[in-house]
Amino acid sequence: AQTVTQSQPEMSVQEAETVTLSCTYDTSESDYYLFWYKQPPSRQMILVIRQEAYKQQNATENRFSVNFQKAAKSFSLKISDSQLGDAAMYFCAYRSYDGGATNKLIFGTGTLLAVQP
């Protein structure tokens, strides 16, 4: 079974600085998706960024980028020029490429990011 581990329960960053959130996962599959989701205090979960395992190029979305190391099964999220609105719980998630019976997401335990003004 696949597992996702986030070893940083809480992180803090100064506004305008850069922060990296860590995520490791375990799987025997070769094709899969990895995601970072953001859950602000309002609770609405939104997708931040997605990475397909077969792509070597790291995904980037504006100030958000990932460092995907497939051999090491590592998938970290870098937030550049941090803003107050980035404060939230961040979840790393895994999903099988094929999906099988359910295309379920397997979530890590989350990292609570605080942004200091």
Partner 1 sequence: SAVISQKPSRDICQRGTSLTIQCQVDSQVTMMFWYRQQPGQSLTLIATANQGSEATYESGFVIDKFPISRPNLTFSTLTVSNMSPEDSSIYLCSVEKGGQGEGYNEQFFGPGTRLTVL
Place of tokens 């790393």: 92
Residue 53 C-alpha from the chain's centroid: 14
Q: How far is the CB of 65 from partner 1 (least distance, A)?
A: 18
Kindly give, in sequence order, each residue whose CB lies less than 8 Å from that of residue 79, ignoring residues fewer than 6 positions away: 13, 18, 19, 20, 21, 63, 64, 86, 113
Q: How far is the CB of 114 from partner 1 (least distance, A)?
A: 16
Residue whose CB is less far from partner 1, 43 or 62: 43
Q: How far is the CB of 95 from partner 1 (least distance, A)?
A: 8
In the complex, which residues of this chain contact partner 1 (CB under 8 A)? Answer: 33, 37, 42-47, 50, 52, 91, 101-105, 107-110
Distance of alpha carbon 45 from alpha carbon 33, whole angstroms = 17
Residue whose CB is less far from partner 1, 16 or 47: 47
Place of tokens 């803003």: 83
Residue whose CB is less far from partner 1, 11 or 45: 45
